[in-house]
Chains A and B, each alone.
Chain A
């Protein structure tokens, strides 16, 4: 029964993809969107049943859906492994995914390509489900590429917009770099274990040499860094905000970008063998968390601030993985999915209310005009800032505390500073959007309206999750989530640090968050001219931040342009040398063919014609003999007889 439900989970969205993709034009948008969110809802229901079953029995399920590749020693099945880790991922994906689908019905209302949008979204759901459910690296990789494809398709949803098309290509190409690393990791794993099934590999990882473990872990890390937008491959994610807002919420905040974290946690057995790789993971995470947060401080596009915030929060998850706090990383992944989806969707609601305006310099004073959006956005802000008792506090504090108690003081410092910046820029965003005087132009202001219930409803659900979600991991390090995940990631954080230290760290974290809030309050409410003066004072820093440290320009200069030039060189080489050779061969063949034509025409045909004409001439004479007159024939017979007589006579004489 459970096995069947597990098989059904990805089937529902797949059916919706097939129906909407092939026949979506034949029926109305009403039918199409019902199919879309309905199928995800059904998957969610199946997931809940599976989840309850796994809580009850405590055993992971391994289901072979389809025997796919087998030959010799190699067997690769389309098979699912549903253990507690997958369960959490499934709940987040189908649950948050369902809410975002429902929200999209309102947000995308009246857009061109409504059905196309939902087809891509459902295809994304299928890929993401395969990604987290697969029991081997091949299925994981298929899902991995599938979500990349859907990300590309949905970033480029407004394909007639140049910037959207470019952003889509950028996301796709940058992800290719990561995927190459991931593929190498899969090859290395196959060489070492002769199998690609998790359940066969993880029990025997200890046979790996330390160097090999480091190599595999680093290759996996490259894949994770690409997909989860970490330094140095994070540049695609802010640009990905060109897609519709629900896409940003679902793919570029809640689910796809967390695939890298999932993958590292799934392979933690390999990472555990390599302290080097772990250190690198931690440093990348910490750097990204801090780096992206600083950029987020000065951005003026509401979605881009959230995008940098996402990069930064993913950095926290990587940091958590790097210090071995896998449960905390998954915990933060889950709470982040709640509050970041909430923030993105609320931002979408703001954009919706302002008829497409995304620049926070042209917002302000919206709290009374769109009260529900305001309240829910505030919940999201408080949650991500890490103010107890909302969700973000518990998960972020756990990563911070783990870093501190395991003596990663440098990482702790980076993370704490990042947390301060997070609180600051999120409250900055809230103040600029919802408080103060309105900077909206008059024409837009007349049309400001609260979003319909179909959009606010999912926001409320996410708001509730953002408030209570943190209690799944309460008390810290011994919560329900920790026990549930223990069979997969091992008993994390089994150490006695004393309640005092834990409480102190919590107080510090809360203090940092409140400090960030306070500063934002001072800058954007009490003394609104302060930010400008500060910017003027540190002109160089401000410009660098505003231009995102010129990383995109640097990449263009160092990588993109040289590669383009190299491409042009190759193009020239192809056109002149290769094509020249090809043309020379063609010319030779042409000449040869002309020679044979001449030969055929004059020699062979000539010979044949001689034979033909000869026959013709001879037979023209010869056929005169057949006159049809009896006496001619009689004469011939007589002549023959006479000839015969002569011949016989001659022979007799011999």
Chain B
């Protein structure tokens, strides 16, 4: 029987990995992939707690998160393509339009 703490540890490692990827990497696509990793870390958490608390709500939310992650990946890639066409670059440092 794998203890709950093991799941949480894996989840935490994954989440930190994703977070660092978002903050540190400069490639837009890798940033997007890191966001996916963070979402999956959250999913592991949800499923683990669902099992231990014997409640199906957690697994249900995890399914929603997977669906949303799929949508988010699709929109994110679309944005990347549009930006790429304008800038010929996927470097996030060159994208500072959000300040306006």
Contact of B23 among A626, A627, A628, A631 (CB under 8 A): A631
A522 cross-chain contacts in B, Cβ below 8 A: none
- In chain B, residues 82-100, which have Cβ atoms closer than 8 Å to a Cβ of chain A? 92-93, 95-100
**What is the minimal beta-carbon distance from A622 to any residue of chain B, in angstroms?**
13
A629 CB–B CB distance under 8 Å: yes
Taking the complex as formed, is A617 at the interface, i.e. its CB lies under 8 A from any CB of chain B? no
B48 at the interface (CB under 8 A from A): no
A275 to B24, CA, bound (A): 127
> Min CB distance, B48 to chain A, in Å?
21
CB interface residues, A 628-653, toward B, < 8 Å: 628-631, 633-635, 638
Residues of B within 8 Å of A, CB-based: how many? 13
B40-69: which have CB < 8 Å to A? none
CA distance A421 to B23 in the complex (A): 133
Q: How far is the CB of B79 from chain A (nearest CB, A)?
A: 11
Q: Is the CB of A629 within 8 A of B96?
A: yes
Does B95 lie within 8 Å of A630, measured CB to CB?
yes
B37 within 8 Å of A (CB atoms)? no
Q: How far is the CA of A633 from the CA of B22 in the complex (A)?
A: 11
Interface size class of A (residues with CB under 8 A): 10 to 19
B19 adjacent to chain A (CB < 8 Å)? yes
Report whether A628 and B96 are in contact in the complex, using a CB–CB cutoff of 8 Å. yes
Partner of B92, one of A626, A631, A638: A631
Contact with A626, one of B19, B24, B93, B99 (Cβ below 8 angstroms): B99
A635 CA to B92 CA in the complex, in Å?
14
Known: A629-B92, A630-B92, A630-B95. A635 touches B23 (CB 8 A): yes
Q: Decide: A631 and B22 in contact? CB cutoff 8 A.
A: yes
- Chain A residues near B22 (CB-CB < 8 A): 631, 634
Task: Name the residue of chain A whose CB is nearest to the CB of B100.
Answer: A628
**Across the two chains, which residue of chain A brings its CB closest to B35?**
A634
**Main SS of the interface on chain A?**
helix
Instruction: Tell whether, in the assembled complex, residue B23 and residue A633 are in contact, meaning their CB atoms are under 8 Å apart.
Output: no
Q: How far is the CA of A168 from the CA of B23 in the complex (A)?
A: 105
Q: Is B31 an interface residue (CB 8 A)?
A: yes
A634-B22, A638-B23 known; A627 vs B99 contact (CB < 8 Å): yes
Q: CA of A296 to CA of B22 in the docked complex: distance in angstroms?
A: 128
A379 to B90, CA, bound (A): 129
Say whether B92 contacts A627, CB under 8 Å: no
Closest chain-A Cβ to B87's Cβ sits at a distance in Å of 14
Question: Are the CB atoms of B97 and A628 closer together than 8 Å?
Answer: yes
A324 CB, nearest partner CB in chain B, Å: 109
Contact with A along B1-45 (1 / 0, CB 8 A): 000000000000000000100111000000100000000000000
- Cα A628 to Cα B97 with chains together (Å): 5
- B97 / chain A contacts, CB cutoff of 8 Å: 628
Contact residues in A for B100 (Cβ distance below 8 Å): 628
Contacting pair A634 B96 (CB below 8 A): no
**Distance in Å from the Cβ of B82 to the closest Cβ of chain A?**
15
Nearest B residue to A626 via CB reads: B99
B83 to chain A, nearest CB (A): 12
- Complex Cα gap A171–B96 (Å): 95
Decide if A629 touches B19 in the complex (CB within 8 Å): no
| Contacts A634-B22, A634-B23, A638-B23; A628 near B99 (Cβ below 8 A) | yes
CA distance in complex: A631, B27 (Å)? 11
Residues of B within 8 A of A630 (CB): 31, 92, 95, 98
Question: How distant is the Cα of A628 from the Cα of B94 in the complex, in angstroms?
Answer: 10
Min C-beta distance of A626 to chain B, whole Å: 5
Bound state CA distance, A627 and B19, in angstroms?
20
The answer to whether A629 touches B23 (Cβ under 8 A) is: no
User: Which residues of the other chain, A, contact B95 by a CB distance below 8 angstroms?
Assistant: 628-630
B23 CB contacts on chain A under 8 angstroms: 631, 634-635, 638
Check B98–A633 contact: CB distance below 8 A.
yes
CB of A629 within 8 A of CB of B31, answer no
Which single member of A629, A634, A635, A638 contacts B93 (CB below 8 Å)?
A629
Q: How far is the CA of A635 from the CA of B22 in the complex (A)?
A: 9
Q: How far is the CA of A631 from the CA of B18 in the complex (A)?
A: 13
Cα A629 to Cα B91 in complex, Å, equals 11
Point out the residues of chain B lying under 8 angstroms from A626, CB to CB. Answer: 99
Cα-based distance from A633 to B98 in the complex (angstroms): 10
Contact indicator A631/B31 (Cβ below 8 Å): yes
A635 to B19, CA, bound (A): 9
- For window 142-193 of A, CB contacts with B under 8 Å fall at none
Once bound together, how far apart are the Cα atoms of A627 and B98, in whole Å?
8
- Closest Cβ–Cβ distance, residue A620 to chain B (whole Å): 15
* B99 proximity list for chain A (CB < 8 A): 626-628
CB pair A638 B19 closer than 8 Å:
yes
Distance in Å from the Cβ of B24 to the closest Cβ of chain A? 8
A634 to B97: give the CA distance in the assembly, Å.
Answer: 15
Distance in Å from the Cβ of A625 to the closest Cβ of chain B? 10
User: Would you give the shortest CB distance from B35 to chain A, in whole angstroms?
Assistant: 10
Beta-carbon nearest neighbor of A625 in chain B: B99
Shortest Cβ gap from A164 to chain B (Å) = 86
Task: State A631–B93 Cα separation when bound (angstroms).
Answer: 9
Give Cα A630–Cα B97 distance, bound, in whole angstroms: 9
CB atoms of A627 and B96 under 8 A apart? yes
In the complex, the chain B residue whose C-beta lies closest to that of A635 is B23
Q: Which B residues touch A631, using CB under 8 A?
A: 22-24, 31, 92
* Residues of B close to A629: CB separation below 8 A: 92-93, 95-96, 98
> For residue B96, which residues in chain A have a CB less than 8 angstroms away from its CB?
627-629
* Known A634-B22, A634-B23; contact A628-B98, beta-carbon cutoff 8 A: yes
Ordered by A's residue number, 24 sampled pairs between the chains whose C-beta atoms are within 8 Å are A626-B99, A627-B99, A628-B95, A628-B96, A628-B98, A628-B99, A628-B100, A629-B92, A629-B95, A629-B96, A629-B98, A630-B31, A630-B95, A630-B98, A631-B22, A631-B23, A631-B24, A631-B31, A631-B92, A634-B22, A634-B23, A635-B23, A638-B19, A638-B23
A interface residues with partner B (beta carbon < 8 Å) = 626-631, 633-635, 638
Chain B interface residues toward A at CB < 8 A: 19, 22-24, 31, 92-93, 95-100
Top 4 closest A-B pairs, CB basis? Answer: A628-B99, A628-B96, A628-B98, A626-B99
Instruction: Other than A628-B98, A638-B23, give 12 A-B pairs with Cβ distance below 8 A.
Output: A627-B99, A628-B96, A628-B99, A628-B100, A629-B93, A629-B96, A630-B31, A630-B98, A631-B23, A633-B98, A635-B23, A638-B19
